[in-house]
């Protein structure tokens, strides 16, 4: 098991390979569909100068994501005495953010993207070019995943996006996952898809004989 802690260097990321098991600690942020759309269309490609409110969020997110991690998760949260905590925080399907992820990696210097199901060619190319990895989290185990979130520090855009889609600034303590897309152009998702297609073809040919 490889232990990682944000912020991460490009050298650390390029030392990882698809199939490595890791635990991640340190500051990260959640972000789903609405968050990625906002990151790209407003903060990256929006008109300049940014309005003060957007500029403030940009600067905060840049400080988190530079060498850091973004987690594709829409957590179930609880507030007690003015303090937030995660009740459940499993990964959501990442491919929905394929149209945005490469731009987020490039603009913010993201080192780790966490989710489930893998991502496509654009994200894999960005991982190789800029030095990032995709970390596959444990799906269907939201309460277990939430146990690795030791602190919920702050929330951004909750009123605009709703709690599941908001940016949650969190602290991980040994969050577990597997590197399934690395910075060398290797994707276990592509490999498995190729194996499945080959086996399916063999089965169909065998049936038709």
C-alpha gyration radius of the chain: 18
Q: Determine whether 52 is exposed, middle or buried from the number of CB atoms within 10 Å of its CB (0-12, 13-18, 19+).
A: exposed
Paired tokens of 17: 């390979």
Q: Which of 36, 72, 136, 189 is catalytic?
A: 36
Paired tokens of 151: 């602190």
Instruction: Please answer whether residues 43 and 61 qualify as being in contact, where contact means their C-beta atoms are separated by less than 8 angstroms.
Output: yes
| Torsion sign (Cα): 64, 68, 73, 75 | negative
Distance CA 100, CA 76 (A): 24
Which residues, 6+ apart, have CB-to-CB distance to 131 below 8 Å? 10, 13, 14, 111, 183
Quickly tell me which residue has 């909750």 as its tokens. 158
Please confirm, yes or no, whether 36 is among the known catalytic residues.
yes
Paired tokens of 202: 């063999």
3-state helix/strand/coil string of 72-98: CECCEEEEECCEEEEEECCECEHHHHH
Catalytic residue annotation: 36
């Amino acid at each position: 098991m490889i232990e990682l802690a944000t912020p991460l260097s490009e050298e650390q990321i390029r030392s990882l390979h698809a199939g490595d098991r890791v635990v991640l600690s340190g500051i990260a942020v959640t972000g789903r569909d609405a968050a990625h759309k906002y990151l790209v269309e407003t903060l990256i490609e929006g008109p300049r100068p940014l309005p003060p409110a957007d500029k403030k969020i940009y600067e905060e997110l840049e400080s988190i994501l530079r060498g850091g991690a973004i987690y594709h998760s829409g957590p179930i949260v609880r507030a007690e005495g003015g303090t937030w905590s995660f009740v459940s925080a499993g990964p959501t399907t990442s491919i929905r953010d394929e149209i945005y992820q490469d731009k987020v990696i490039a603009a913010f210097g993201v080192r780790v993207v966490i989710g489930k199901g893998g991502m496509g060619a654009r994200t894999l190319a960005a991982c190789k070019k800029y030095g990032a990895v995709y970390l596959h989290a444990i799906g269907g185990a939201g309460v277990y995943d939430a146990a690795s979130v030791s602190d919920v520090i702050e929330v951004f855009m909750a009123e605009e996006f709703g709690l599941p889609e908001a940016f949650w600034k969190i602290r991980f303590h040994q969050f577990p996952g597997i590197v399934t897309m690395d910075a060398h152009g290797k994707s276990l998702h592509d490999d498995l898809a190729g194996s499945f297609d080959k086996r399916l073809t063999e089965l169909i040919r065998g049936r038709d004989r």
